[in-house]
Amino acid sequence: MITNTELEFKGNLYPTQVVEYRKDSDKYYFTSQNGVILEITILRNSALRVRYATDRVFEPDFSYAISPNHSRGFDEIQDDETDAAYVIRTSKISVFIDKASLRIRIEDLQGNVINEDELGFHWEENYEFGGNTVKMSKVAQAGESFYGMGDKATHSNLKGKRTHNWVTDQYAYAKDQDPLYKAVPFYVGLHNDIAYGVFFDNSFHTHFDFSHERRNITSFWADGGEMNYYFFYGPEMRRVVRAYTDLTGTPELPPLWALGFHQSKWSYYPESRVKEIASKFRELQIPCDAIYLDIDYMDGFRCFTWDKNHFPDPKRMISELEEEGFKTVVMIDPGIKVDRDYWVYKEALENDYFCKRADGPIMQGKVWPGPCSFPDFTNPEVREWWAELYKDLIKDSGVHAVWNDMNEPAVMEVPGKTAPLDTRHDYDGHPCSHRKAHNVYGMQMVRATYEGVKKYVFPKRPFVITRAAYSGTQRFSSTWTGDNVATWEHLWIANVQVQRLCMSGMSFSGSDIGGFAEQPNGELFARWVQLGIFHPFCRVHSSGDHGDQEPWSFDEEVTGIVRKFIELRYQLLPYLYTMFWKYVKEGVPMLKSLVYYDQMDHQTHFRTDEFIFGEQILVCPIQEPNAKGRRMYVPRGKWHNYWTGEVVDGGMEKWVAADIDKIPIFIKAGAIIPKYPVQQYVGEKDIEELTLNVYYLEGIEQSTVYEDGQDGYDYKKGEYSLRNFKLTGKSKELIIQQFKDGTYITPYSTLRINFIGLPFRIRKIQVDNEAVTQKDVQLNGNNTIVVDKNFSSLVIK
């Protein structure tokens, strides 16, 4: 007798008729006839979580992405049912669950469709690996656009694109190449002036199709795991992004020096070369706060060691650099050289800390040191051990910060450029293969690094950088966009990537200024610096194979332009620090794409170049050679040209002149922009006076200045200074009210206020309802006055 024992290929499977429904507090459960369970959790009035189990059993509820401090809460929930659907209502949305198919439709309270399933949830059994490929398809509404998804090297608007999340070492990647270094499975949909967001919290290889395969369909799927996603309703994009950022978390405030200008190269060595670079910065008076040491500082690329030939006394060198105002940042990779005489390898081997293959042997792969083994950072015991390894680097040698690279993990000369898929991981007590752990490996490495750096730089604040990331990594680390190329196209890519990362919860980001691979000419380098000083993380980094890339590596004209813009960065540090505080406190992205800034203006939906730096500065880089200016879109409202003082009306495209020494910069009318004096490094000077540039507006505008001790944790005990300003402008009068909070006493006692764009001559001045003379406030012909920092009300007429 012959028996056919082949497995039946079932193809896509779908939920059937609902046969059971129950409610448990804020959770709703719907069970289908064929054993699918839909769980809907109401998180907030405008946010919910959706999970599906395919055989009546959910996977353990565990995620690395979700912040333990995310907020929850809602007014009330109402539930009802019709002949065709179950209905859940909050004070913001109505959720309809189809009884025949478990498909979901979400509407606002006016009955407008926000988001609806097409085929909805379906799955396909995975006979090769076990488990399921889980899928979701939704209707793309008429005119819908899509944004977010992390560091994708493509147009800001993802309509018509297909993207993938599998963190990958992509040296010299190209425009539209995907995947890259980060997995951020979060997107924002926008249609009919309504914004919503979806976060697909699944660490397997995930895929998103934004009406690429089918014109009116959006779909996302994963190679394993659960269909588990979060839904956020706006209707404003800012509410969506802030809700997602709250869910996945924000970092602590960094030390202020981390927001300065940083210089890096693969590699600065020996010690004499490092000292030479540092001296040149100070000689040329180009501000810089940090110098980076790439892998060549190590002994044979062994992590946590020093090459004693190139760096005979690291502690002395780092101390001498610090005396000149430079912090030292060193690289640490995950690959640990296979060497039984190497103490880190021996400890990991003895404690069984390395990742293993499915059948037991330790996973090995080639990286810079040669054959390496890789700690399993998804094991909490390994993370604790790894954190302790930083003691010698930081406590003994004096290193200030750490840079994690190659942590996808990158493995050379193998298909896929990473660990084999059968590599095993602890996954914090939920054992799994590399298929599930790959996208979070780098995140868990930098998490361990963050804990170690935080412990050993205390009472200072930690500063950590990572290349690989999954959603939520921003809680531990800054990031950059990886190994880019010195081309004009990559300057454009860097601009859209950092905007997208900010919209995706990862605001502390930047690019390798000037390009990592190949060599920029002076014009490209200058234009890239002009963009880079407006990125939250500001660092020049380049390959050692392609020439020098310091600010003075080109000609005197370029050096002067670079100095001018780095000085502008340092002047704007209080503004940038305030941006960071708002990001930490409220989840506000530090850079705002124009569509985020004004989604109701449909002209913004496909803009890529222009962005808002913080709340009130409009920036548009020059992204082509030989340009004397460019056309750009100015968003609605009134804006002051930073260079010329011209006031322009927005809501239209304009030609803006910008020769090699300028880029278009506009300040929102009514803004109050704080400035520090130029410093060669943070802390070089005592801030004796805070400058406030006040840009006239006939109307009302709010501005904020946040300051604290610039390092340490006293700010968490109320030791901060928060100045909220309300500007009210009239045709012949300007009123500024200040509302002060916090107990930090700033080192300066006066504010120098520059009034810009005033349509009238100052004749009368009142401070706190008392008339003062022009001499009292040192009024000069440039409409500048000096007042006590604690004033409550200032009126000029």
Q: Would you state the torsion angle of the CA atoms of residues 587, 589, 594, 596, taken in this order, to the nearest 10 degrees? A: -20
Q: How far apart are CA 30 and CA 20, in angstroms?
A: 6
Three-class secondary structure of residue 717 per DSSP: helix
Q: List CB contacts of 99: < 8 A, sequence separation 6 or more.
A: 17, 18, 81, 84, 85, 86
Distance CA 633, CA 506 (A): 25
- Cross-sheet strand order for the sheet of 770-772: 699-708, 720-730, 733-741, 793-796, 765-767, 770-772
> Cα–Cα distance between 709 and 746 in angstroms, integer?
8
Cα end-to-end distance, the chain, whole Å: 104
- The DSSP code sequence of 198-228 is EEE---S-EEEEESSSSTTEEEEEESSS-EE
Alpha-carbon gap, residue 671 to 695, rounded angstroms: 5
The C-alpha atoms of residue 51 and residue 391 are separated, in whole angstroms, by: 42
- C-alpha 613/C-alpha 591 separation (Å) is 5
Residues 266, 543: contact at Cβ < 8 Å?
yes
SS3 137: strand
How far is residue 268's CA from residue 727's CA, in Å, rounded to a whole number?
49
Say how far apart CA 683 and CA 257 lie, in whole Å. 8
Return the structure tokens found at 533.
């000083």
Q: Let me know: does 96 contact 85? Beta carbons within 8 Å.
A: yes
The span from the CA of 496 to the CA of 490, in Å, is 10
d(CA 591, CA 535): 8
Point out the residues that are catalytic: 405, 408, 483
Contact (CB, 8 A) for 31 and 14 = no
**What does the alpha-carbon distance between residue 246 and residue 69 come to, in Å, rounded to a whole number?**
8
Distance in angstroms (rounded) separating the CA atoms of residues 494 and 540: 13
> How do beta strands 327-332 and 401-404 pair?
parallel
Rounded Cα–Cα distance for residues 305 and 396 (Å): 12
Q: How many residues does the chain have?
A: 797
Distance CA 199, CA 257 (A): 33
User: How far apart are the C-alpha atoms of 313 and 328, rounded to whole Å?
Assistant: 14
Q: How far apart are CA 465 and CA 363, in angstroms?
A: 26
Q: How far apart are CA 600 and CA 414, in angstroms?
A: 48
3-class SS shares of the chain: helix, strand, coil, % to 5:
20, 35, 45
Name the nearest CA neighbour of 674 among 777, 592, 753. Answer: 753
Going by C-beta distance under 8 Å and a sequence separation of 6 or more, which residues neighbour residue 376? Answer: 353, 354, 355, 382, 424, 425, 426
